[in-house]
Structure formats: structure tokens, C-alpha cells
Amino acid sequence: MGNIIISVKDLHKKYGSFHAVKGISFDVNEGEIFGLLGPNGAGKSTTLEIIETLREKTSGFVTVGGVDLDTDPNEIKKMIGVQLQTSGYYPNLNLTELISMFAGLYNQPTDPIALLKTVNLEDKSKAKFKELSGGQKQRFSIATTLINHPKIIFLDEPTTGLDPQARRNLWDLIKDIRAKGTTVIITTHYMDEAEVLCDRVAIIDSGKVIALDSPDKLIDELVASGFERPKQVKNANLEDVFIHLTGHELRADN
Ligand code: ADP
Ligand code: MG
């Protein structure tokens, strides 16, 4: 088990009288891909945004890289990569110019083409953000999180709305980023994605963690409890057919 890089203890968030996060606790190990899973409204984004210093918590304790959120949020900001709202992308700038602009904001010398290459978008260096496909937009947005060489990146539903190939391409990209030593926290609704990607997951429901372990252990526990899935009639599903027919190499167009 690695070093703990994020520690969340008894986190609460109230929006007025509505209690959205009700005492969430979890630790994230350095170098892992940690998933927050749960239905819409479970409190995933709220939890992430509090850790990212973008939202005030009501109570609880958060440390990132050993730094206390209450005492030194600016130090935390320097360590993390956050996906910006797409509205933050100036419409008249192309991808190279956008990266140069963010690099300037972060005061980080950056080679835009090299960075676009890591997300397989070098062919789109002169394109505007709005001209990209859904998968390309997500890859660009992930590239922007890497500009300040963060220890941790936060991805909030990066694959929602993408087609199966674009999702797989993004999984490969996220694994590459982790292989280079970056810790990844991701939220998703897709359980197949969490199973492939995440070392450990916290399942959140109505503002509480209801399970926390590796996907493998959670599945084993369910099976040990006597659960049996209705018999599989076929050895493949329609998604397998689609991927088999169309391939899933990192295409520039998805
Ligand atoms: P998730 O990301 O898991 O879908 P959120 O953290 O976005 O969940 O939201 C958790 C709950 O808090 C939801 O019921 C949502 O409607 C509510 N909520 C989120 N943001 C606000 C806000 N700014 N004001 C009031 N309620 C909010
Ligand atoms: Mg959300």
C-alpha cells in the first residue's frame, strides 16, 4: 500500500438546510486511480470540489499531500490538476493558443505541441475547442490539467456522453497518466469503466460512503454473500460487436 496522498475525514456539506454530504471519509493512496461512484446527486462533485479548494465545506478534515485544506489551500492548488469548465475556453483561440494561455496563468513553461501529443491531438493544434468531437474535447480538457505537472488530477465524469471507442481511448490515456506517477481521482456512472480503471472505489449514495474497496474485493464479497447473476446466455454483448467491428485504436477523430 502506498503513501496516503489525500485524506478526507467526516466531511459534511450543507446547501442551506439540505445535507448533501453526510460524513464522508476516505483515503487515496499515492499513484492509484481512485473512483467515486454513485447515482446522480450522491455528492460526488461536491466532495471533489471541496478537495479541489473550489467549494467551502461545512465541516470535516481534508489533507492533500500532507497539507491541511483549512490552513493552506493555495499550497494544495499548486499540487493538483483540475478540469476547467468548458466555458473557460476562449472561443477565438486555437488549442495551441489556449494551452499557451493556461501555461501563462500557471507560470509554467510549456511546449503546447508536445502536450497535445500526449493526448493524441497534435493534428488539431490549430483547431478551436468547439470544433472538436466529444472525445477530443475531453482529451484536451485532460491535457489542460497536466500543464502544472500536478501530483493529482481530478476528473469529474470525463467519459459521460462519449461513444464506446472514445471511452476506451480515454481509459488508455488515464492509465498512461497514472503510469507516469500521477494520482487520479475520477467519478463515473459506468461500472465497467470503474472495474477496468480503478484500483479502489468508494460507492457513495445520498451523501454517504456505503462501500470502499477494490472492484475485485467488492465483487468477491457479493459473490460470497450468495449472489448469483442470472445465467449469461451469450459470451459477448452488443458493445463487444461494436468494438470488434470498429476497432478501438486511438483515432484522432474520437
Ligand atoms: P453528484 O456529483 O454525485 O451528482 P452533487 O455533488 O453535484 O452530486 O450534488 C449533491 C446534491 O447536492 C444534489 O442533490 C444537488 O442537487 C445538491 N447541490 C449541488 N450543488 C448545489 C448548490 N450549489 N446548491 C444547492 N444544492 C446543491
Ligand atoms: Mg457530479
Q: Which of 15, 37, 49 to mutate to test the pocket of ligand 1 (most atoms within 8 A of CB)?
A: 15
Q: What average pLDDT does the chain have?
A: 92
Using a CB cutoff of 5 Å, list residues around ligand 2, an ion: 44-45
Question: Where in the chain does DSSP place strands (E)?
Answer: 4-15, 18-29, 33-37, 59-64, 67-68, 80-82, 152-156, 183-188, 200-205, 208-213
pLDDT grade, residue 254 (50/70/90)? low
Q: Per-residue pLDDT tens for 4-50?
A: 999 999 999 999 999 999 999 999 999 999 999 999 999 999 999 99
41 closest CA partner among 205, 215, 160, 196: 205
pLDDT at residue 85 greater than cutoff 90: no
CB atoms within 10 A of CB 175: 13
Long-range (24+ apart) CB contacts under 8 A made by 164-168 are 164/239, 164/242, 164/243, 164/248, 165/135, 165/243, 165/246, 165/247, 165/248, 165/251, 165/254, 166/133, 166/134, 166/135, 166/138, 166/254, 167/135, 167/193, 168/243, 168/248
CA of 47 to the centre of ligand 2 (A): 9
Shortest-distance atom of ligand 1 to CA 21: 10
Pairing of strands 200-205, 59-64: unpaired
CA of 40 to the centre of ligand 2 (A): 7
Shortest-distance atom of ligand 1 to CA 204: 3
pLDDT of residue 89: 83
pLDDT of residue 231: 80
* Ligand at shortest distance from the CA of 208: 1
Q: Name the residue with higher pLDDT: 17 or 238.
A: 17
Query: Is residue 53 lining ligand 1, measured as CB closer than 6 Å?
Result: no
Residue nearest to atom 26 of ligand 1 (CA): 15
Region 54-76: mean pLDDT is: 97
Which residues are registered as beta bridge partners of 6?
28, 64
Q: Per-residue pLDDT tens for 160-179?
A: 888 898 899 999 999 999 99
pLDDT at residue 100 greater than cutoff 80: yes
Residue 44's identity, in one-letter code, is K
* Ligand at shortest distance from the CA of 39: 1
Q: Which residues lie below 8 Å from residue 9, measured CB to CB, with a gap of 6+?
A: 25, 60, 61, 62
CA distance 137 to 254: 9
CA of 52 to the centre of ligand 2 (A): 14
pLDDT at residue 252 greater than cutoff 60: no
CA of 156 to the centre of ligand 1 (A): 13
pLDDT grade, residue 253 (50/70/90)? low
pLDDT at residue 130 greater than cutoff 60: yes
Helix axes 238-246, 164-179, angle to 10 degrees: 80
Q: Return the H-helix or E-strand segment holding 73.
A: helix 73-79
70-74, 173-177, 212-216, 221-225, range with the lowest pLDDT: 221-225
pLDDT at residue 91 greater than cutoff 90: no
Residue nearest to atom 13 of ligand 1 (CA): 41
Region 49-72: mean pLDDT is: 97
184 closest CA partner among 41, 6, 38: 6
CA distance 139 to 173: 8
Q: Per-residue pLDDT tens for 187-208?
A: 998 999 999 999 999 999 999 9
CA of 42 to the centre of ligand 2 (A): 8
Residue 108 DSSP SS3 = coil
Query: Is residue 96 lining ligand 1, measured as CB closer than 6 Å?
Result: no
pTM: 0.92
Region 75-91: mean pLDDT is: 83
The three cell numbers locating residue 37: 461512484
Query: Is residue 38 lining ligand 1, measured as CB closer than 6 Å?
Result: yes
How long, in residues, is the chain?
A: 254
CB atoms within 10 A of CB 137: 19
Residue 202's identity, in one-letter code, is A
Query: Is residue 44 lining ligand 1, measured as CB closer than 6 Å?
Result: yes
CA distance 97 to 100: 5
| Spatial contact of 151 and 80, defined as CB atoms under 8 Å apart | yes
Query: Is residue 20 lining ligand 1, measured as CB closer than 6 Å?
Result: yes
